[in-house]
Amino acid sequence: KSQQPYQIYLEPGELARAAARRWVELARESIRARNSFHVALAGGSTPKPVYQLLQQEELEWDKIHLYWGDERDVPADHPESNYLMVKEALIDHVPIPNDNVHPIRVEADIEKSVEEYRRVLERVHRSPDGFPCFDLVMLGMGDDGHIASLFPDSSALTVANTPAVSVYVEKLNSWRVTLTYPVLNAARNLMLLVSGESKAPVVAQVLGGDGDERYPVQKLAPQGRVEWYLDQAAASQLPEA
Ligand code: 6PG
């Protein structure tokens, strides 16, 4: 049984408000302690309302650096782009310097994109084993238990010698660039945002199951604090607390 703490919120709106409050708390804590806040953002749909809520927050945006946990193999102005989603939900509405925004720039040669992102990641504090140590990594989770672009049966699941890789995702028939487990595990804080009925079986296995490791999310071995933000639908198959 996993010891990872989790909070269940009635519905997605409440989950987003709680996650936004925590994001602000962690940003202020990190700026107080290290005069900066380096955060790897999640793509997909669940985190979008969190980013929209952050628009109203009084924060020292000049000390906040945004990175991405993964990116699709599309240009920055493509509807599928995780960067574009955050740009529209947050970046365009807050006074964050351009130099503080570090997207994964996916180009025709995806290996070049990975090389460039590895260099960008060198701006982040190092963990004891030499990996980027983000103050916060936000993750969504797919209904197959993938996190970032670490999908079941993918070659990226065993990568432990580099902070970012390109990976071909069979089921999506598309390439992705993703952070690897050593970076997710090194984060001072990890927030998982999971909403919707389709995620309930995986949530039950991870947080209340028999410990069998069936999903990529279960390969996480976080060195920092982990918090799960679930809505009631995603938590609906958890054994009664
Ligand atoms: C992406 C995300 C991905 C996402 C999950 C959950 O690029 O899509 O990084 O890992 O977090 O697929 O997505 P939802 O939040 O939309 O369910």
Q: Give the Cα separation of 4 and 178 in Å (integer).
A: 23
What is residue 176's three-state secondary structure?
A: strand
Residue 1: pLDDT band (50, 70, 90) is very low
Q: What is the mean pLDDT of the chain?
A: 95
Residue 131, pLDDT > 60, answer: yes
* Pocket lining: 148 vs ligand 1, CB cutoff 6 Å: yes
Residue 240: pLDDT band (50, 70, 90) is confident
Shortest-distance atom of ligand 1 to CA 148 = 10
The two tokens of residue 166 are: 């390109």
**Percent of residues in the chain assigned helix, strand, coil, to nearest 5:** 35, 20, 40
ipTM: 0.97
Residue 66, pLDDT > 60, answer: yes
Question: How confident is the model over 108-122, as a mean pLDDT?
Answer: 97
What is residue 200's three-state secondary structure?
A: helix
* Pocket lining: 198 vs ligand 1, CB cutoff 6 Å: no
The two tokens of residue 85 are: 């989603």
Sign of the C-alpha dihedral computed for residues 160, 163, 166 and 167 taken in this order: positive
- CA-based nearest residue to 99, from 133, 51, 67: 67
pLDDT, tens only, 96-112: 999 999 999 998 999 99
Tell me which residue has its CA closest to atom 12 in ligand 1: 142
What is residue 38's three-state secondary structure?
A: strand
Provide the terminal-to-terminal Cα distance of the chain, rounded to the nearest Å: 12
- CA-based nearest residue to 155, from 178, 134, 132, 133: 178
Question: How confident is the model over 210-214, as a mean pLDDT?
Answer: 87
Cβ atoms within 10 Å of 88's Cβ, excluding its own: 14
Shortest-distance atom of ligand 1 to CA 196 = 17
Residue 241, pLDDT > 70, answer: no
pTM of the shown model: 0.97
Tell me which residue has its CA closest to atom 13 in ligand 1: 44
Residue 2, pLDDT > 70, answer: no
Q: Give the Cα separation of 82 and 77 in Å (integer).
A: 10
What is residue 221's three-state secondary structure?
A: coil
